[in-house]
Amino acid sequence: MNRSRFQIAKPDIIRFFDDLPTRIHRQTDIAGHLTQQRTFWRLSQDISSRKFIKLLIDAGRLAEIDFGFPPPYKREVRYTWGKVSLYEVMQTIKPGCYFSYYTAVKFHGLTEQLPKTTYLTVEQFNSSISRGEMNQAAIDRAFQGNPRTSTNIAETKDFRICIVAGRNTDKLGVIEQTVVSAAGPIRLTNLERTLIDITVRPIYAGGVFEVAKAFELAKDKLSVNALTAMLKKLKYTYPYHQAIGFYLERAGYKSSLIDLLRKLPMDFDFYLTHKMGATDYVKAWRLHVPKGF
């Protein structure tokens, strides 16, 4: 009986979901629609939201995407109505999240690789920009160890997604734009913010060789002025401008542009990345880099 009632109401149900402004739903969204429309659709009370969702999936109209984040992280499930890009669905996982690191590198055309992991940054609202004091011993100690990495990773046969907890930057340098593989606009870091982010955390961008390649491929479109201004706003404790200046020089940017980074204080020796093993020392930037880099 339930199935026949659903079949009778099916054209109206399809029309209802077709007319909604969004194609991406949570279970609570669908449950709310069912509650509001149940009488009009003449569906019995024993059709729960779960049963209703199953009927829609069986009808070939609704698809379920279970992101499967491991405990203690929250399970995230979305339902799509019709054709929706996976990127559009991913950006609904957390409020205000945005694509970053290697994913933003790909969207900006700064890699020749096909990154297997999608990176989403979620800013921590209680985490302010660091303004701590530095000393050489603390820098040396920090970069001799492994970098901290996110364990909030979901992996299926269709995708691998990593949620990165970011500092509260008030979404500095985050833009909305349409990219290949997404019908609607998505949120991502702009070119300058992307290059800063991957300098800070190259482990989320395929490593320092991929970061260097990104700076090379950005040469004709990067505003070094905008990058420098943004870096100052971010107020990092560590002197990442030394690493950025090195990448710019290595990629052959104009000396006048590189001077914007050279003029910033260089009071400490720094490291291109964590746990490099054998290194070369670049005196001009007071920077340790992988040997032969």
For residue 110, CA distances in Å to 113, 192, 197, 214 come to: 9, 12, 14, 5
In whole angstroms, how far apart are CA 133 and each of 238, 240, 281? 9, 15, 24
Left, alpha or beta for 181 (phi > 0: left; psi -120 to 50: alpha)?
A: left
pLDDT (tens digit, 9 = 90+) per residue, 66-91? 998 988 998 899 999 998 999 999 99
Helix axes 2-19, 49-58, angle to 10 degrees: 80
SS3 state of residue 188: strand
Looking at residue 178, its pLDDT comes to: 87
pLDDT in tens, 186-235: 999 999 999 999 999 999 999 999 999 999 999 999 999 999 999 999 99
CA distance 13 to 27: 16
Alpha carbons 89 and 241: distance in angstroms, whole number:
35
Asked if the peptide bond before residue 185 counts as cis, ω within 30 degrees of 0, the response is: no
Count helices and strands in the chain by DSSP H and E runs: 11, 12
Task: Dump the DSSP string for 141-161.
Answer: HHHHSPPP----EEE-SS-EE
Residue 179's pLDDT band, with cuts at 50, 70 and 90, is: confident
pLDDT score of 129: 54
Q: Could you tell me which residue, 183 or 255, shows the higher pLDDT?
A: 255
| Residue matched to tokens 């004091």 | 133
Write the class of the CATH domain 86-290.
alpha beta
> What residues does each domain of the chain span?
2-61, 86-290
**Cβ-count burial 231-253 (b if 16+ within 10 Å, e if not):** beebebebbbbbbbbbbbbebeb
pLDDT digits (tens, 9 = 90+) for 120-178: 999 998 755 555 678 999 999 999 999 999 999 999 888 999 999 999 999 999 999 98
* Of 33, 35, 55, the residue nearest 45 (C-alpha): 35
SS3 1: coil
The amino acid at 94: K
Are 106 and 212 in contact by the 8 Å Cβ rule? The answer is no
- Model pLDDT, residue 273: 98
Mean pLDDT of 47-62: 95
